[in-house]
Amino acid sequence: MTLPCLTDITARIQELPAISGVTLDLLRSLNDGEADIDALSRRISQDQAIAARVLRVANSPFYGLQMKVGSLHDAIVVLGFSTVRSLVVAASVVCALPATHCPGFDAARFWRHGVGTAAAAQALARALGRNPDTSFVAGLLHDIGRLVLVVLLPAEYARLLQQSRQEDRRLVDVEQEVLGFDHAGVGAALAQRWNFPEAIREALAYHHQPDPAAGHGLASLIHYADAIAQALDLDEAEDSQMPHLDQAAVDALGLDRQALNTLLAETRVRFDSYRLML
Amino acid sequence: MNTIQLMPLEAIECGAILAEAVLDAQGHVLLPAGLALETHHLEALARRGITTLSIQPDTDAQERAARQEALRQRVLYLFRHTAAEPSAQALLHATLAFRLEHLQ
């Protein structure tokens, strides 16, 4: 049997379930200023599943609100537009891309790791003075190429998962060996196809091998956030293993011991809140 | 392991539980088994020339130590392919310290 190449996979991306227009608009606007609150809340409120997930997170103890917020409009007023925007994007993507049946693939674990990486990326971005919303979304989506492979090649990907487990090897290495490309490349192709902001596309493409010298700032941040989420066992999976950390990327972040400790604590607290959207 | 410990008197802290009764030369019970030792008990025993006591094992401390060891092993398992890499050192040590500190 001939395995598909990256070009074949890219050509089949339109077979994925559609992601809503409003979500794509929000994704593309992550770097923009604040939009019209009423317009956003009206558009999102039409999707009750998304609105309910966002409100669950908004009402979690992490935000410490005195009163329960009952509408997206109120959530935006209390939490701010950019916070709610990134929560809406996250909830929309989680709702839009259900996994098909692929033996060995645990969708709940996948999203726990995504949300964990998002929480770590957001905490890291705040510590480093970078954009927390873009970092959050990039963290959530960093392995989205894996989900694409699960949906488009369920039988082949099930074999990769089994091989990775049996040989106790990182899945990304097995993907490269068997397919000749990996989920990072697929995620970048998806980002290109759906017109994600360039920084997010780059983060998806290079999160396993960032090059700070080439300006992969967000990719370096996601590279480390991915490791933090694994180190804290946020995916709750027995067979997890740490990714290789690139020394130049670690050095570029410049975190001392105290900053790292704060980061771990922040990630843990944020994760407990954000996981409510799953 | 829940074996009774024979401990030197000076090493026993307040709150330790006597595993066996302390008897005088005539076989009278001075202190019953199960007693939580207080400072005045330890001082009185020292005055009587008693140098060792049978103490119940501190199961809470043992369980805590076992949980800490299991957590240490879990973190090392996560880092099983990278623990020797210089780039992983800071995160490995910070993770161990953080997770041990927050162990329930």
* pLDDT value, residue A67: 87
* Band of pLDDT at residue B64, cut at 50, 70 and 90: confident
Domain end, chosen from A37, A70, A96, is at A96
State pLDDT tens for residues A16-53.
877 777 787 777 777 666 666 677 777 777 778 888 88
* pLDDT value, residue A24: 79
How many other CB atoms are there within 10 angstroms of residue A265's CB atom?
15
Same domain, A119 and A80: no
How many other CB atoms are there within 10 angstroms of residue B2's CB atom?
7
State pLDDT tens for residues A128-138.
999 998 999 99
Residue A1 has pLDDT above 70, yes or no: no
Domain end, chosen from A62, A78, A96, is at A96
Q: Across chain B, what does the average pLDDT equal?
A: 91
Report the residue of chain B nearest A228, measured CA to CA.
B91
Is there a domain that residue A14 lies in? no
Report the residue of chain A nearest B75, measured CA to CA.
A231
Looking at the structure of chain A, the number of domains it has is 2
Same domain, A164 and A245: yes
* Band of pLDDT at residue A91, cut at 50, 70 and 90: confident
Q: Nearest CB to A231: which of B81, B86, B91? A: B91
* Band of pLDDT at residue A120, cut at 50, 70 and 90: very high
The larger pLDDT score, comparing residue A63 to residue A185, is at A185
Look up the pTM and report it: 0.85
Give which of A168, A155, A145, A125 is closest to A30, Cα–Cα. A125
* pLDDT value, residue A226: 98
* pLDDT value, residue B2: 58
Domain end, chosen from A96, A124, A147, is at A96
Residue A229 CA to residue B95 CA, distance in Å, equals 11
Same domain, A84 and A111: no
Same domain, A80 and A147: no
Domain range enclosing A103: 98-278
Q: Residues near B13 by Cβ (< 8 Å), separated by ≥ 6?
A: none
**Torsions phi, psi of A142, nearest 5?**
-60, -30
* pLDDT value, residue A245: 97
In a mutagenesis test of the A interface, which of B73, B75, B76, B78 is the best target, namely the one with the most A β-carbons within 10 Å?
A: B78
Same domain, A110 and A182: yes
CATH number at residue A123: 1.10.3210.10
The larger pLDDT score, comparing residue A114 to residue A8, is at A114
Contact between residue A211 and residue A248 where contact means Cβ atoms under 8 Å apart:
yes
Q: Residues near A44 by Cβ (< 8 Å), separated by ≥ 6?
A: A22, A50, A51, A54, A72, A88
How many other CB atoms are there within 10 angstroms of residue A72's CB atom?
23
Q: Which residues of B touch A230 (CB under 8 A)?
A: 78
Same domain, A79 and A130: no
* Band of pLDDT at residue A4, cut at 50, 70 and 90: confident
Same domain, A256 and A122: yes
